[in-house]
């Protein structure tokens, strides 16, 4: 993989693709997921609009409220935290008031989930109260309504089993029995195994 980042995909033809948006777009075209990535030029442009905004938009939320717990060594100074949080709030406001402005619908006003929703959800869910619990989203009703709809899609729990096992990222967090959770670094390895097992359990068998 020339770029050396994850995620990455090796196609059946032996070609390599990096970046989530590019991989998802390729798979949608290859597998004809026309509901998630319509052929209509305007509808596709709306999805691409979000995908292109994602890395400098939604990713700010991950940097501010997830990365600093999982990879604290990447935070070089307190100013990094302040700067990241400012950008994250701006991104949350954009998602709430622009991409999800039509309350009750999915990103960009679609009546069903598209690639945009899956790309966005995987970032925002990390900080929500049912997972990392690192930011209070109660000021964003459209986002919360959308999270609830996304969480009820098929195979949701299997896909996010690893993240669920990592759990609350706050210092002193407890499990459902009131026991202190292990250090985050001790949860990551088991979470990966649990996540893979959950995904394999719902894959179709030949």
Average pLDDT over residues 33-48: 96
The two tokens of residue 34 are 């026309």
| pLDDT for res 74 | 86
Confidence band of 162 (pLDDT split at 50, 70, 90): very high
Q: How far is CA 64 from CA 8, 87, 125, 182, in A?
A: 24, 8, 14, 22
Residue range 136-164: mean pLDDT, rounded? 97
For residue 52, whether the previous peptide bond is cis, meaning omega lies within 30 degrees of 0, is no
Return the percentage of the chain with pLDDT > 70, whole number.
100
pLDDT tops 90 at residue 38: yes
Q: Is the peptide bond before 7 cis (omega within 30 degrees of 0)?
A: yes
Q: What is the pTM of this model?
A: 0.93
List pLDDT tens digits, range 60-95: 999 999 999 999 888 888 888 999 999 999 999 999
Q: Are 121 and 58 in contact (CB under 8 A)?
A: no
* pLDDT exceeds 90 at position 154: yes
**Residue 206 above 70 pLDDT?**
no
Tens digits of residue pLDDT in 14-36: 999 999 999 999 999 999 999 99
């Amino acid at each position: 993989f020339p770029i050396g980042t994850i995620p990455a995909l090796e196609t059946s033809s032996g070609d390599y693709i990096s970046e989530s948006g590019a991989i998802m777009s390729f798979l949608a075209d290859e597998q004809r997921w026309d509901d998630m990535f319509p052929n209509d030029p305007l509808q596709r442009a709306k999805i691409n609009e979000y995908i292109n905004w994602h890395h400098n938009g939604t990713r700010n939320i991950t940097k501010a409220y997830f990365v600093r717990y999982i990879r604290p060594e990447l935070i070089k100074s307190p100013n990094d935290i302040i700067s990241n949080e400012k950008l994250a709030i701006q991104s949350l406001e954009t998602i709430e008031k622009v991409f999800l402005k039509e309350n009750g619908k999915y990103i960009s006003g679609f009546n069903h989930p598209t690639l945009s929703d899956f790309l966005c959800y995987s970032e925002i869910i990390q900080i929500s109260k049912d997972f990392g619990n690192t930011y209070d989203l109660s000021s964003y009703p459209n986002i919360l309504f959308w999270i609830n709809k996304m969480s009820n899609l098929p195979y949701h729990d299997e896909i996010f089993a690893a993240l669920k096992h990592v759990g609350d990222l706050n210092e002193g967090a407890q499990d459902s029995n009131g026991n202190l959770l292990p250090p985050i670094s001790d949860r990551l390895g088991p979470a990966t195994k649990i996540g893979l097992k959950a995904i394999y359990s719902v894959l179709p068998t030949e």
